[in-house]
Structure 1
């Protein structure tokens, strides 16, 4: 028998293709009916205008920007440092791929923080952007929000430079929108900001910074919020530090600091996170002196934590969408993945978590927008009692959302990856492995889980003299059944008498475990109410 070359080519040939799945995925509009419905409820009379804007915006995010985000995720184009130029000048250039620069320019060029853009339009656009994953732009967007809010909260006529910085970041200067960052962490303290030792030395009405910051994300930013102790004091203050002084950016001459290195992180890898050494950097004071911890936590970190909740919703919505699409496409053992009960259960669980998380993010943001001056360095005692309660509710909901959405988000991403089976862990097959790593990193940003669980517990303990725990539960879970409210109130009152934050013992560890479970189930009850309100 003679075997021809045509026979050889025909043998073992596999005609299977993913093209149908890829085509459907590439044509998905991320601004789907669920988001439209949620926006319609909260945007009110502005809905039609915002809806029209989002239709065009979504096309850019889900196609062109998504392509750029995928390209920036390649291992070979991760950010790196170029410390010196050819003439031995220290420049500390953060080298990033052109795709990142293009994506960053278009995202910030959208004027997300401008006074011309309605708040709900900005919110919805950011939720769409977060579906890209970090992509080198999500954290910069988040940090810029905090910097703008800080400058707006504490205007200072003695420093006209701050007014220009606000203009540059919020409205843009000649079409250029600046990027903000926040550098607070030091090697000895982590989230313990009172332990900061970075020194701020008075220089006329300004200051000069000396010392080290150990975890500085958005290392390429134009301006940063930096916490430091004024020389001779033991209290932390807050400063705005330009990365370059006027005329120096083009020369790559940094403002009295060096970037020692770029850190190697498991996620948000497109985002340059560095270690900074300050050698007399010019800094502008902002906010009351000695109140830097309260200012940083009450404004900057609160907004970052709020944005992380929005990001988690975006991550989960994308995971749910793509897992559902693949479950409807992929056939194994003669049936589509979605037609197996175990897989159908997983897909339903993913979708419910995504919708519940997104609904909760909308509801919390609505509360944020409705309150008068919701960003405070502590709970204001001079406000009417009911307003104080609402401000307290917002504070705790932001913390609960941060720890619960990041924790559940990691579970959702892992479940979504399992729907894809072996293809789920292939970095070039889908965005899910990358976003999974991003959400794990987000869980550690702005306070890890145990720190925030402790914060929530102590917050509630401190307010019991003017805000009974049962009232707190009833207000947060308004709309739930009386039985549900009573059960959570009883649990909370009991836990407040237990050694959740006491010395380590079997009893305290058991109480701590119950507190963790309580916070998780309590917040999911809140999210469930938010989701039911959309139906």
Structure 2
């Protein structure tokens, strides 16, 4: 051992062994705000326990190990038989089991279920984002399966189960299942109408065999997948199990795993169907897009929540570091310019969390039959998906810089967050797809604009900058000339107005004031740390501090 030359000082302790839920004021307040009083006590207790678990050193280590030991594809066994399996590190299974055990796949039909689940998903995604993929797809499969009541009756109890049962076996014989989806193909990408995979009907009603491929199939060890294929009646949605009822493997050839920028713990595969792949029709032939859109909308909301989670963890790490690190005679957090940067980051994080949780509450209302919130979801989900996922990468990159050179080192955890940060903008339709979906909703469904204006209108009169932004937005909506080329601008404007309205209603005055002054009032630079210096930035930063 080399002789000691110095004592290590002026370093922040690891951010572990803390209650990730209770120390996140924006998230904890949203849960209390959106849950009925009779459900809040139980939910708070459950989420607090989950937050303590998520903030533990053990959970953080599982996240590190799952990321550093990516899945491995095994196409054949030792005898040359095709098995098409993916092996995961034990840490992956522990994280997935913890998420399923916390009810993150079972929100539908449960009072306040979407709010409780969204909060849990935000916590789980801060530990390790990759395992959120199968959790999200399983949860989101329910609306599609409900197009076929017989299928829904058989599968929903297994989806909502809090038992994670790994391994490939006949799914309806298990105590809990995971579902995935296969939509995109090489030649089409987001244009799924260009899919060429064929679904040929068998003699038994509702049964088909598939021939074709899927370019992206995440979590290929799931028990079943919803896929789109061309049936005689047009593009249709089908359910493809990995194992058939008699225990034999369905023809589901994993050609390779994708080598991705981030999301290393989660397997994303290319899949081939060889003409004997058995599938069951979900909904009507030719109405596959309509059937699957409920699933897509739910996974899009999870993209918003996942990005909000990455932002929250990055900001928590930056504020935690600055609260311990001293430079030039004072703590970094007390330096005016660093405080400005941290406050700016905290605003973006809180705005994302408040928006995501409001949409989760709208799901609870829509699930119980509220039409206004159903219309709000139709427009606000693509708006939020576009904007929040776009903001994630610059927030994480700036938070990394707050740690200086240490933030660029893998051991800090920030590089993993940075690699993960672009993903949610790509999944479930990239930016242009979301912006065009906003236009489509506005042009085809008049109720959605009324729902949006009603939602932001609840805050009118409380802040003159918000009122002006709403008027400017109405002017933009009235001018349809060249609207497609302005679709991104419109989606961004709608997102910032909606976030501002929610913060004016529910956030502390210093947070709402800072957001409206910068994001709506125009007093904001091109980078973080350019907030007006007259604002109460210390209070904004203190609110973001990750201390229970």
Fold-level match, TM-score > 0.5? yes
Q: Judging changes above 3 Å, is the alpha-carbon distance between structure 1 residues 116 and 450 closer, same or farther for their aligned structure 2 residues?
A: closer
Structure 1 residue 255: Cα displacement: 0.6
Structure 1 residue 117: Cα displacement: 7.7
Asked whether the 8 Å contact 1:473–1:485 carries over to 2, the reply is: no
Structure 1 residue 118: Cα displacement: 4.7
1:136-163, CA deviations, whole angstroms, 9 ceiling, x for partnerless residues?
A: 3101111001212322x22344x6xx64
Gaps of 5+ in 2: 164-171, 462-466, 508-548
Structure 1 residue 445: Cα displacement: 0.5
CA distance in 1, matches of 2:97, 2:390: 31
Report the counterpart of residue 327 of structure 2 in structure 1: 332
Asked whether the 8 Å contact 2:378–2:448 carries over to 1, the reply is: no
Asked whether the 8 Å contact 1:267–1:434 carries over to 2, the reply is: yes
Per mean C-alpha deviation after superposition, the further-off stretch among 305-314 and 270-279 is 305-314
Q: Judging changes above 3 Å, is the alpha-carbon distance between structure 1 residues 534 and 391 closer, same or farther for their aligned structure 2 residues?
A: same
Indicate yes or no: 2:376 matched with 1:393.
yes
User: Which of 486, 489, 496 in structure 2 is aligned with 1:517?
Assistant: 489
Structure 1 residue 362: Cα displacement: 1.5
Indicate yes or no: 2:499 matched with 1:527.
yes
Aligned length: 482
* TM-score normalised by structure 2 residue count: 0.83
Q: Judging changes above 3 Å, is the alpha-carbon distance between structure 1 residues 89 and 372 closer, same or farther for their aligned structure 2 residues?
A: closer
Indicate yes or no: 2:283 matched with 1:287.
yes
Report the counterpart of residue 177 of structure 2 in structure 1: 178
Q: Judging changes above 3 Å, is the alpha-carbon distance between structure 1 residues 326 and 449 closer, same or farther for their aligned structure 2 residues?
A: same
Q: Secondary structure at the match of 1:224?
A: strand
CA distance in 2, matches of 1:446, 1:394: 16
- Aligned pairs for 1:153-232 within 5 A: 153-157=146-150, 163-171=153-161, 176-203=175-202, 204-205=204-205, 206-230=207-231, 232=232
CA distance in 2, matches of 1:457, 1:368: 21
Q: Secondary structure at the match of 1:491?
A: helix
User: Which of 54, 61, 67 in structure 2 is aligned with 1:67?
Assistant: 61
Report the counterpart of residue 58 of structure 1 in structure 2: 51
Asked whether the 8 Å contact 2:297–2:381 carries over to 1, the reply is: yes
Q: Judging changes above 3 Å, is the alpha-carbon distance between structure 1 residues 373 and 237 closer, same or farther for their aligned structure 2 residues?
A: farther
CA distance in 1, matches of 2:255, 2:174: 31
CA distance in 2, matches of 1:473, 1:272: 37
Q: Judging changes above 3 Å, is the alpha-carbon distance between structure 1 residues 276 and 9 closer, same or farther for their aligned structure 2 residues?
A: closer
Q: Secondary structure at the match of 2:13?
A: helix
CA distance in 1, matches of 2:506, 2:460: 14
CA distance in 2, matches of 1:390, 1:49: 25
Report the counterpart of residue 17 of structure 2 in structure 1: 27
Structure 1 residue 472: Cα displacement: 5.9
Asked whether the 8 Å contact 2:142–2:295 carries over to 1, the reply is: no
CA distance in 1, matches of 2:66, 2:409: 16
Structure 1 residue 344: Cα displacement: 1.2
CA distance in 1, matches of 2:257, 2:332: 42
Higher relative contact order (CA 8 A, sep 6+): 2
User: Which of 390, 405, 415 in structure 1 is aligned with 2:388?
Assistant: 405
CA distance in 2, matches of 1:308, 1:101: 22
Q: Secondary structure at the match of 1:26?
A: coil
Asked whether the 8 Å contact 1:453–1:516 carries over to 2, the reply is: yes
Indicate yes or no: 2:456 matched with 1:477.
yes
Asked whether the 8 Å contact 2:363–2:373 carries over to 1, the reply is: no
Structure 1 residue 533: Cα displacement: 2.5
Asked whether the 8 Å contact 1:186–1:213 carries over to 2, the reply is: yes
Q: Secondary structure at the match of 1:9?
A: coil
User: Which of 16, 35, 46 in structure 2 is aligned with 1:43?
Assistant: 35
Indicate yes or no: 2:143 matched with 1:149.
yes
Asked whether the 8 Å contact 1:109–1:177 carries over to 2, the reply is: no
Report the counterpart of residue 475 of structure 2 in structure 1: 490
1:285-344, CA deviations, whole angstroms, 9 ceiling, x for partnerless residues?
A: 1112210012212x1110000111111221111111111000111223333222332221
1:210-257, CA deviations, whole angstroms, 9 ceiling, x for partnerless residues?
A: 111111111111111111111x34x21101111112363xxxx63112
User: Which of 321, 337, 352 in structure 1 is aligned with 2:347?
Assistant: 352
Q: Secondary structure at the match of 2:230?
A: strand
Indicate yes or no: 2:257 matched with 1:262.
yes
Asked whether the 8 Å contact 1:207–1:283 carries over to 2, the reply is: yes
Q: Secondary structure at the match of 1:278?
A: strand
1:327-386, CA deviations, whole angstroms, 9 ceiling, x for partnerless residues?
A: 111223333222332221110011111111111111122222212577xxxxxxxxxxx9
- Aligned pairs for 1:449-488 within 5 A: 449-463=431-445, 466=446, 471=450, 474-478=453-457, 479-481=459-461, 482-488=467-473
Report the counterpart of residue 429 of structure 1 in structure 2: 412
Q: Secondary structure at the match of 1:228?
A: strand
Structure 1 residue 483: Cα displacement: 3.5
CA distance in 1, matches of 2:102, 2:349: 26
Larger radius of gyration: 1
Q: Judging changes above 3 Å, is the alpha-carbon distance between structure 1 residues 275 and 99 closer, same or farther for their aligned structure 2 residues?
A: same
Q: Judging changes above 3 Å, is the alpha-carbon distance between structure 1 residues 474 and 321 closer, same or farther for their aligned structure 2 residues?
A: same
Q: Judging changes above 3 Å, is the alpha-carbon distance between structure 1 residues 121 and 198 closer, same or farther for their aligned structure 2 residues?
A: same
Report the counterpart of residue 378 of structure 1 in structure 2: none
Asked whether the 8 Å contact 1:133–1:434 carries over to 2, the reply is: no
Structure 1 residue 397: Cα displacement: 0.3
Asked whether the 8 Å contact 2:441–2:448 carries over to 1, the reply is: no
Gaps of 5+ in 1: 375-385, 502-511
Q: Secondary structure at the match of 1:225?
A: strand
Q: Judging changes above 3 Å, is the alpha-carbon distance between structure 1 residues 243 and 174 closer, same or farther for their aligned structure 2 residues?
A: closer
Per mean C-alpha deviation after superposition, the further-off stretch among 113-122 and 221-230 is 113-122
RMSD: 2.4
CA distance in 2, matches of 1:373, 1:229: 34
Per mean C-alpha deviation after superposition, the further-off stretch among 329-338 and 257-266 is 329-338
Asked whether the 8 Å contact 1:133–1:315 carries over to 2, the reply is: no
